[in-house]
Amino acid sequence: MKLLIRNLASATTEAEVRAMFEAHGLVQSCNLVMDRETGQSKGFGFVEMPRPGDAKAATKSLNGKLVAGSKIRVKKAEVKAAEG
pLDDT in tens, 43-82: 999 999 999 999 999 999 999 999 999 999 999 998 776 6
Which residues, including other chains, have CB under 8 Å from residue 67's CB and lie 6 or more apart? 8, 9, 12, 16, 20
Q: Quote the pLDDT of residue 82.
A: 60
Residue 84 predicted with pLDDT over 60: no
Express as a percent the part of the chain with pLDDT over 90.
88
Q: Quote the pLDDT of residue 65.
A: 97
Report how far apart, in Å, the C-alpha atoms of 5 and of each of 21, 54, 84 are: 11, 15, 28
**CB-based contact 71:65 (threshold 8 Å):** yes
Q: Quote the pLDDT of residue 47.
A: 98
Mean pLDDT of all residues in 9-37:
96
CATH annotation of 2-65: 3.30.70.330
Please give the mean pLDDT across all residues of the chain: 94
Domain range annotation of the chain: 2-65
